[in-house]
Every structure is written in structure tokens, then in C-alpha cells.
A and B are shown apart, each in its own frame.
Chain A
Amino acid sequence: MLNWLLAPFTYEFIQRGFIASVIVGTICSVIGCYVVIRSMAFMGDAMAHAILPGVAIAYILNGNLTLGALIASIIIALGIGQLSKLGKLKEDTSIGILFSAFLALGVLIISSIRTYAVDLSHILFGNILGVSRNDLIFTAATAFFILLFIIIFYKEFLIISFDRVYAKAVKIPVEFYRNFMLVLMALTIVASIQTVGVVMVAAMLVTPAAAAFILSKRLPVMMGISCLIGIISSIVGLYISYYANVASGAAIVLTATTIFLIIFLFSPERGIVWSRFRRRTRSG
């Protein structure tokens, strides 16, 4: 059994992959708590997909791909806010417009670069085995700053999320903190691309946090539980990926989904199964 558990770690690149996905599982689940309680899941999805044209343009210009991804992701996040405000549109409409436009732009550019096909699949689905030493340092540093900011500005983020009116009344610059949070989301997404990819990162932002939401009554507790689920999903997912020889990002996301479903059905207070059961025994 121990051999079975340790076998993957004989290779250094797998060790790096493991560490990277644990870090990504952590930051996605913490930021994800805000995504869930502020109903920003669609926003997260849009920001992840917006990375595509950013990476493609950076590739053409021979620039830094990560930087390209980050810029594109921040542009769409702030653009959505502006479009909603100036056009008096609901936010989900603005997201719908910009999301598909960015995606189309990405596909357009990439279809013109023939040699790009291989790298593209890495962006879409992640490539955990290709995590270099530098990648790992970048991911760890990003994660450190994300968590640091979440802790320092905990009160502000809590108050603007819970009660905007009150936040404005006590002179918290609500718009600033909203945009700040979007930038943290963009950083999280960019740091996660290497391990889970564009398509799956939105799931990692939502699923562990949603499961934690069912179990907890306070935000810090929710963040802790979410973190735990994110880390467990990453580790279990990677073992599945290693032994069943399947894509790592998909395995991680499906592990998180399974954990979510178990909690959704069997959580002691809000689980579907128990509340059905209780109702039946009460009426019977």
C-alpha cells in the first residue's frame, strides 16, 4: 500500500505536479468561497476563457504567456463592470457578450497559428506533468500573495459582499474592493491554468466552495472546509490520473464533484437524504 502511494513520487516532475495542484486546490477553494457567496460563478467562467486570446496574442508577440493570460483576464473582468454600467445592462448579459467575444477572438488567432495545436490543448486542459521549477515558484508566490490579501482585507471583503449599502455608509470604497477581488480571481485563474486548464478552473472555483457552503455557517469555517475539499480533490484526482492514465484536470474536477454530491446528499443538517428521511419519520 505504501509503495502504491509513494510510487508516483519517484519522478521529480510528478512531485512538482503534486505540489502545484495542492497549491491550486487551496487558492481556488478560498477565492471560490467569495465566488459562491457573491454569485460570480459565471464571471469566473468568463475570466478563465478570456485567457485564450491573451495567451495567443502573447505567443504571437513572443511575450510572456502568463502575463498575456493575466492581462486578458483582468481586461474582461473590468470590461464587464464597465459595459454593465455604461450600457445599463444586467451583469450576466455583459458577461455573455464579452465571454463569447473573447473566446471567438482566441479561436480566431489560434486557428491562424498552425504549430500551436499542442500547446493549445495544454491551456484548455492543463498539463500537470509539464510544471517546471519556475512554474512552481510562480504558482507558490502568487498563492502566497492571494492568501495574504484575503487575510488582510478580510473585513472589507466580508462587508462589501454581505451588505453593499452598509459598506458604502461606513465609507468603504466598494468599487475598488470589488475590482481588487476580480484581480485576485484573475491571478487565481492564471495560476491554475497549468494544472487544471481553462475549461476546468471554473469548476475548481465553484465546486469545493459550494460543498463547504452546505456544511458551514461562517465564512472562515467555509473557507477552511473548502480548502480541505480542494486539497483532497487535487491529491485523489492526481492518484486517479496516475494509475488510470487519464487527464489530471478532469480527474481532479470529478473528484471534487463527487465530494460535493456526497455532501449535498448526506450532510447532517441540509443534506437532501436526511431531510427527506426526517420528513418521512415526522409525518409517519
Chain B
Amino acid sequence: MLKKTAKENFSFLEPAKLDVHNISVSYGSRKAIDNMSFSINHGERVAVIGPNGAGKSTLFKALIGLISPDSGKIFIHGQPLGHHFDCVAFIPQREEVDWTFPVTIKDVVQMGRYNGRRRFKRNTKDEDDIVFDAMVQMDILELANRPIGDLSGGQQQRAFIARALAQKPHVMLMDEPFNGVDVVTQELIWELLDKLTHDKVTIMIATHDLNLASQKFDNVMLINKKMIAFGEPAKVFTKDNLAAAYENQVLFIGNNAVADQCCPKDIE
């Protein structure tokens, strides 16, 4: 490779790899994200917590450039969003995919290596290896030639995670990855997260599960349209912060908080 692509040109040791400055996003007249700012260091693992409609999915969509914010700026590795071709990988919620589509697991994972600038070249050995490794990592190699519609929810989720892995991301965004998947898949996701953290990939996971967030993450981000708190779980999950985020949907029993999680789905 003669020409270095943008993402190979900087050091992995730089701090503050993901910076969000005062972004606001609205759908029509409804504000989904209101003046949010934060900064995440390279290789950190952050749980994004908030009630339904808090703007978790919207935040992710803004970070991959799917929605452009009304105001504010997003920087990745100090460069404005859109500068890097395939630096941020996003794993959508399962409901957003057409499962009757005639593609195999391998087709899906190969999409991760899509690159518009390499149209007439055949995939190199490296490319095939990346796809192969991603499938091995998510334990779906034997399913490679099966159509996605034939698989269980967990296996489908794994295929989409493998696609994200094949993108070789610097930032990985996962929207409710533990929803409706089996134990094996959950274990595989945790294994993967540890490996990614080791490889200094920045990870953000949107989840409803407060327990999970406080036990398995170094940092949590509590949002409800606005940033409520961001930091270590013990400092973020205070009575005041939870009350601010969940409004009436949280019940305090002594020192324990119970959040109501059975409200209607996000209307995004």
C-alpha cells in the first residue's frame, strides 16, 4: 500500500479521541438532543443510559453522520466527523433490519469491507482474512452460507457485530446489543468487548440495564435529551441524577433505585 489512508496517519496514544461540542438534534419541533457535550478517551468503554426517548439512538446516529445536528460539532481523533471513511461502526437494533432479505451471513459480514474507491479490484487476501477473523470471533463461521432469515436472534446479532468488526472501527457504537439475545451471544459480546478494549477501540453501548452498566463499565453516561451526568458509575448513579433522568419513572426504596423500563418504544 503506497498511499496511507487518513486513519493510519496518527498515533493511537493521543488522548480525547471522541469530542462532542454542544450538539443539538431535533425532529421537526421535537428536540431529541439538547446542547450535549462530552469527551471520551481512546479505548474507553462507556454505557449510555437513559429512559426511552432520551436520545440514545439519536446520539449514535449523529455520531455516524446519519443525522446532522442542528448545531454543535463532533470530532473524532481531533478531525471533524466525515473526515474518516470507516472509523465508526454502528450496530443497529434488531428491529431495523429486513430479515427476509436474500443474503447469507457471509454476505452481511463482507459488507463491512465495502469501499467505494476499490470498485474494480478483487478482494485481496487481507480483506478475506478480516472477514474470516470477524466470523471466527463471533463464532458464526459454520453459519457463513446460511441465509440470515434462518438464524436465531442471537446469531443474527452476532452477524451484525461481525460486520462492524470487519470495518476495523476505532469507535464502536452498539444500540441495545443485549436485547433479545441468548446467553451464548451475551458471553461472546462480553469477550469481544474485552478484546476491543485491549485493542484500544472506543466503545459506547446504549442500554436500559442499570445493573449491567454499573457492574461492567468504567464509565456511564446518563442522558435524557440533555447530559445529566458522565463518569464512574458510583458518582453518576446518585438519587438526584436518576430522578433527573427518569423523572417519574424511578422508584426509590431505601438506597435502591428501580427504573420503570416497560414504557413504549422510542418513536425515532
Could you list which residues of chain A lie within 8 angstroms of chain B, going by C-beta atoms? 37, 152, 155-156, 158-159, 161-163, 165-166, 168-172, 213, 216-219, 221-222
Contact = CB atoms under 8 A, between A and B. Distances in A.
A159 B102 contact: no
B101 interface: yes
A162 B96 CA distance: 10
Nearest to A152: B119
Contacts of A161: 101
Contact of B101 (A37, A152, A168, A171): A37
A228 B101 CA distance: 21
A153 to B, nearest CB: 9
A37 B102 contact: yes
Q: Which of the listed residues B92, B116, B163, B167 has the most CB atoms from chain A within 10 Å of its own CB? A: B116
Contacts of A213: 102
B111 interface: yes
A163 B66 contact: no
B103 A165 contact: no
Contacts of B104: 217-218
9 contacts: A162-B103, A162-B108, A163-B92, A170-B114, A171-B85, A172-B116, A213-B102, A217-B102, A218-B147
For this complex, into which size category does the number of interface residues on chain B fall? 20 to 34
Interface in B36-89: 61, 64-66, 82, 85-86, 88
Contacts of A37: 98, 101-102
Given A37-B98, A217-B150, A219-B103, 8 more contacts: A162-B103, A165-B61, A165-B92, A169-B90, A170-B114, A171-B82, A217-B147, A218-B103
Nearest to B119: A152
Given A172-B116, A218-B103, A218-B104, A166 B92 contact: yes
Contacts, number: 65
B97 A163 contact: yes
A235 B114 CA distance: 39
B107 interface: yes
Nearest to A223: B102
Contacts of A216: 102
Contacts of B64: 168-169
Q: Which of the listed residues A156, A161, A163, A170 has the most CB atoms from chain B within 10 Å of its own CB? A: A170
B86 A170 contact: yes
B107 to A, nearest CB: 7
A158 B103 contact: yes
A161 B86 CA distance: 20
A213 B90 CA distance: 29
A168 B65 contact: yes
A209 to B, nearest CB: 10
Nearest to B82: A171
Contacts of A171: 65, 82, 85, 116
Interface string B157-201: 000000100010000000000000000000000000000000000
B90 A165 contact: yes
B21 to A, nearest CB: 21
Nearest to A154: B119
A159 B111 contact: yes
A165 to B, nearest CB: 6
B228 to A, nearest CB: 27
Contacts of B146: 217
A165 B102 contact: no
Contacts of B167: 170
B111 A166 contact: yes
Contacts of A170: 85-86, 114, 167
A9 to B, nearest CB: 37
Contact of B66 (A168, A218, A222): A168
Contacts of B150: 217
Contacts of A217: 102, 104, 146-147, 150
Q: Which of the listed residues B64, B82, B103 has the most CB atoms from chain A within 10 Å of its own CB? A: B103
